[in-house]
Amino acid sequence: MYSAPARFCVKDGSPLVEVEDEAESDALPLTPEETDRYATLAGKLLDGRYQVDRRMGEGGMSYVYRALDTETGQPVALKILLPRLSRDPAAVERLRREAAIAMRLEHPNVCPILRLGETSDHMLYLVMPFLEGEALSDREARAGPMPLAEGISILVQVCHGLEHAHELGIVHRDLKPENVMLVPGGAGEAVRAVVMDFGLARQRRAGPELAKLTTTGIVLGTPEFMSPEQIRGKQLDGRSDVYALGVLAFELFTGQLPFPGKSAQETMIARLRGSPRRLRSVREDLPGKLEAVIDRCLAVDPAERHPSMSALGYAFEAVTATGVLGRIFGR
């Protein structure tokens, strides 16, 4: 029997299955008309341009479809805003903000937004490149905790992508395995990690319009990966993403989350108190240097964390480095 943070068996890596009580879900169901319109776009031509192939998934605010852009001949992913959210001005503003932010990103480890569109009957959608591969969360569920070298390669690439975003003043704010895609790599690279979904991303210097979106008392993000300052609703910078990547790294190598708790509220309290489990208490075969890197990510005080994604990337690389760099970091 495994407690709440566990996602994989630490002995054989088998994925654990959690039974969800449907009564606990407070999501409003789609009406039959909405279901017919939004959930059955496969085979249709959207907005006179996008030939929809099949539905790929469904999230908290959208359906995602694979489609063909008939103007360019390229496969694309369409993110369709759910109707109950499209009626919410704040949600629509968030979608427009996501597009404006992601259109500025240009890096091999970040997925850009190509276009924000709206049909004549007010269906809002985002167009993104279609990436062949699988989400990191699916890779974890399929194969369990990741080998050291493979995991370090993925984490360093995520650092590169987020460093690019941070240089533009953009904080992701919702980094988690579901938002990292693994696609076939190029020459000398087994897999390329691509950071997805900047839907909760926020520029560090937000104008009054954006500020209103975060003064409603609602904390945006995924509870298991939130930094203490995000839980408290404080001003965020790139070090909040450093914290989230530390949580992601812990789960990547162990199949468990670093903070114990039977509910999201309990894990939040544990994070505010700064009491994570040690990496090697779950997987003692991992190097102590990796444990030290993750421990620093998970510091309650942002000033005690790695100061940037670039610094964190170097620290991850040093875990498996040899030669001069390895001696500098005490290998």
Instruction: List active site positions.
Output: 174
Burial class (CB in 10 A: 0-12, 13-18, 19+), 147: exposed
Strand 180-184 vs strand 134-135: parallel, antiparallel, or unpaired? antiparallel
- Token pair listed for 121: 């009957």
Which amino acid type is present at position 222? T
Nearest-CA neighbor of 298 among 256, 252, 241, 254? 241
Report d(CA 260, CA 276) in Å as an integer: 8
Report d(CA 225, CA 132) in Å as an integer: 26
Segments in the chain forming alpha helices (H): 32-38, 83-86, 89-102, 136-143, 148-167, 208-213, 228-231, 238-254, 264-273, 279-282, 288-297, 309-319, 323-328
- Token pair listed for 204: 């560090």
Report d(CA 310, CA 172) in Å as an integer: 15
Sign of the CA dihedral running 210, 211, 213, 219: positive
Report d(CA 100, CA 172) in Å as an integer: 14
Sign of the CA dihedral running 89, 94, 96, 100: positive
266 Ramachandran zone, left/alpha/beta (phi>0; psi -120 to 50): alpha
